[in-house]
Amino acid sequence: MSPRDVPDTTWLTPRDDLLASAWTDRDLAWLEFNRRVLHEAQDPRTPLLERLKFLAIFTSNLDEFFMKRMGVLRGKAQVADEDDPGARAEDAREHLSTIRGTVLEMLAAQAACFSNELRPALRQHGIVIATWSEMSDAQHEELGRHFDSHISPALTPLGFDPTHPFPFMSNLSTNWGFILRAPGSDEYVPVGSRARPDCRNTCQSRPTFHPVNAGMSTSRI
């Protein structure tokens, strides 16, 4: 056998390294797909309202991901099955940590895109997403009337204490948490609120942002 017939193994990848890099994790691959959706929102060439839509799609995709996959992964992280390498608790916890880091990174990029780029651009077009402190007394009164007539009747208060465990929060529901203190008392009481079962569909169908008209020549929400 001549030297040229002897295979050159110097460039070959070791078998273990090849197997480790030959597969893409399904969850991380799905998150990277969603990152491409986020990139569309970050692209200044995309029309402004379309960029907002891509941010909303990005959030909706994450909601679906957490509903379908995170429960399974959390379950694996709480058990140890040596017969099933995919169910080993150590591997699952490490996997959850990797997913958490990836999601937090993308959420920070989404928040920066909205706060630093899209919100100022909307303001330039007369659409102001305002905080409570940025509104006038007339707008406060308008929003107060809206809350009293449309939102407050649909809410159910919930108390948290040793006799009232943390309540179940259904998927895609809107929940609020508060810490209350009675006047003259140093004791703080955590409470929550959610839509009443008979009003839940009505509340969830309401828009996240509410337009305010009092004293404004431009749209403010």
The whole-number pLDDT of residue 182 equals: 77
Report pLDDT digits (tens) over 77-89: 776 555 555 555 5
What's the confidence (pLDDT) of residue 42? Answer: 96
Instruction: Domains for the chain: give ranges and CATH numbers.
Output: 3-125 (1.20.58.310), 136-207 (no CATH)
- In this prediction, residue 19 carries a pLDDT of 58
pLDDT in tens, 142-174: 989 988 888 888 777 777 777 777 777 777 777
pLDDT, tens digit (0-9, with 9 covering 90-100), for 13-35: 676 666 556 667 888 899 999 99
Mean pLDDT for the chain? 78
* 183 half-sphere exposure, CB direction, 13 A CA radius: 0
